[in-house]
Structure 1
Amino acid sequence: MSSPAYAEDEVHKLEKKLEKAAEAYKDAKKDLKDAEKKQKKLKKDIKDGEKKVEELTDEINDFAQAAYLSGGLPTATAILTSGSPQEAVRSLSTMSFLGEDAADELEDFLAAAEELEADKDALDDEIEKAKKAVKKKKKAQDSLKDQIDEINGGPSNGSGGAAGQGPGGGGSCSETDPTGTGGCVTPTLLHAYNEAQDAGYTRYTKCFRNQDSGEHGKGRACDFAASEGGFGSDATGGDQTYGDNLAGWFVNNADALGVYYVIWDNQIWMEGTGWGNYSSGHTGNPSQDHTDHVHLSVNL
């Protein structure tokens, strides 16, 4: 077993690495977001390109019809039955009959089609690379968090499976608090509460708290009792395990649930730093120390 001084030194080193890993993860997510924005623009470009292709197709048909009416049957037939504009544009007889302007139109058709395919391929590759980078950076960050959690003793596991993706974006205290306080919660917090319920964490919970200038008063926080009997005494045995699992589940699903921070058993977890000492705890009061409940705060 390592000495406290050694453990503190190891945590310090890991936290330095974690800061860099968190920054790399943040950059990777930004790159993915930028790629997805580019995807949106490329989809518009592709749609415009397809419209251009349709217009050029109509012009080709017009050229073929004109050729037929003027007696150029072999050339018209070649255009209409060539199977593809690429084959038609490479036909010397077609280009000779239609003239330079018509040949340019056909060349534009070919270029537009090829550019369209290139855009699609580039888009797919860029999005795939960005997703892989996010996954890799997230894995590196989680690994460092787990190492810190192991040294600090914070819960890093949690049963209940993966949570569904939250609504994201901003949100006011617009939803009715499902815990019966008569107050409100944000859409993000309501989603987190419902997902926790679905994961099996159904013990006594309270969210909105009037006359609270903090997260509870803004509808962005809930307190989840560790004991089936509610708040009031330090969790032990199965109640301690329930609290460990719930806190770990919130951490494991932080991205999907929009977690801002989690407080449990004199420790606090925040994005980018992992579990650490809760400086406002260690008072002997179960409520203040969060030894009788898990506190969840969401970003919005």
Structure 2
Amino acid sequence: MAATLLRRCWTVPVVLLAALAAFLMVAPTAAHADPEGGTKTLRDALESAARGHLEATAKLNASKKRQVQLGDILKRAQADAVRMQGQVEVTAGRAYRYGRVTTMTMLLNSSSPDAFLDRMSRLDMMAQLDGRALTDYRRAVDTTKAAQLAIIREIAQQQKQVDILARKKKEAEAALASVGGGRVAGGFIDANSPLAKPAPRNSDGSWPKESCTVNDPTTSGCITPRLLNAYQQARSAGFSHYTSCFSERSSGEHPKGRACDFSANASTFRNVAATGSDKNYGDRLAGYFVKNASRLGVMYVIWYRQIWLPNTGWRAYSASGGPAAVHTNHVHLSVL
């Protein structure tokens, strides 16, 4: 009897464990398919191209800034060297004509101890002045040489970043061409868009790395501080239609808190291509993000079968599917 009860007690947990294992094998993951079309490979390639472009641009601009600063240092050092060259020539001439004055020479040429002390004092002061002049001149010359070498290094750094920019542009074009897009498009530009408040940058002009750390005002998820700034700036500029940012997806920036979808319709995502005032709203919003791309850290914007990247401008974006996939019912914004 006891053995039978023991077997029954073990049977229930085993059955439960088997059922749990079967559930885990078939249960869906938290990440859902991306309804916006495209592929993970395409999005990864576009992100790499845009991010590489922006990072190279920041380094290029920082290098140009350093070159200007080095140019100022070089001019000052060269001016100091020219100004002190006369003093150095006087010192060199005096040393050539008189040579070094020894204690014995000063004693022999001095008529009295007072005259000796006076002459010694004047010679010592002259020697100090000559020494300072030579030291300052040498420092100015060394500074000039160092600044010239540093400028050469900065020019090489700039050429390196220019090469990276060209390579990243080709990568973006190739990624778009692989899905039938990439042709130069008319795009959406609005010169009258207001300027957005810039997101914080590092001291060298680069963008700080951010993660999903702040509450998403459009969902129960999280977004990055930089995306929150972009969202808030768009709202302040009058773009108040329905928006959704964070969402669980299999790829892209939405699950990282780096992307928002701004509906063309005021109250919801309509499963139709935007027309009329909704289309005009999307055009203006896309133009707003492009105009403020460098202020907001924009990685790319997608709207109405076109995509804007910082290294290519507006290009055709040939995703297939419904309005969400081809982005005719909402503007997609991705930030670094």
TM-score relative to the length of structure 1? 0.55
SS in 2 for 1:231: coil
Q: Which residue of 1 aligns with 2:194?
A: 161
1:266 and 2:305 are equivalent in the alignment:
yes
Give the aligned length: 211
Q: Secondary structure of the residue that 1:192 maps to in structure 2?
A: helix
Residue of 175, 186, 203 corresponding to 2:214:
175
> Distance between the aligned counterparts of 1:230 and 1:115, measured in 2?
67
Match of residue 63 from structure 2: 34
- Aligned 8 A contact 1:266 1:290 in 2: yes
* In structure 2, C-alpha distance between the alignment counterparts of 1:25 and 1:177, rounded to whole Å: 25
One-letter code aligned to 1:32: N
Q: How does 1:1-300 map to 2 (within 5 A)?
A: 30-36=59-65, 96=123, 98-105=125-132, 108=135, 152-157=185-190, 159-167=192-200, 168-179=207-218, 181-232=219-270, 233-281=272-320, 283=321, 285-299=322-336
| Counterpart secondary structure, 1:152 | coil
Structure 1 residues 186 and 27, CA gap change in structure 2 (3 angstroms): closer
What is the distance in 2 between the residues matched to 1:158 and 1:97? 71
CA contact (8 A) 1:158 1:247 kept: no
User: Taking structure 2 as the reference length, what is the TM-score of the superposition?
Assistant: 0.50
Question: Which residue of the partner structure matches residue 9 of structure 2?
Answer: none
- 151-160 vs 191-200, greater mean Cα deviation: 151-160
For structure 1, list consecutive stretches of 5 or more residues without a partner in the other structure: 1-22, 45-70, 76-93, 135-140, 142-148
Q: RMSD across aligned C-alpha pairs, in angstroms? A: 4.5
Contact 2:191 2:291 in 1 (8 A): yes
Contact 1:258–1:298, Cα closer than 8 Å, also in 2: yes
Deviations 1:180-216 (A, max 9, x none): x121111221121122122221211110002443210
Query: Secondary structure of the residue that 1:287 maps to in structure 2?
Result: coil
Structure of greater Rg: 2
The secondary structure found in structure 2 opposite 1:242 is helix
Q: Which structure is richer in relative contact order (CA contacts within 8 A, separation 6 or more)?
A: 2
Contact 2:54 2:310 in 1 (8 A): no
1:24 CA displacement: 11
Q: In the alignment, what sits opposite 1:50?
A: none
CA distance in structure 2 between the aligned counterparts of 1:150 and 1:278, rounded to whole angstroms: 8
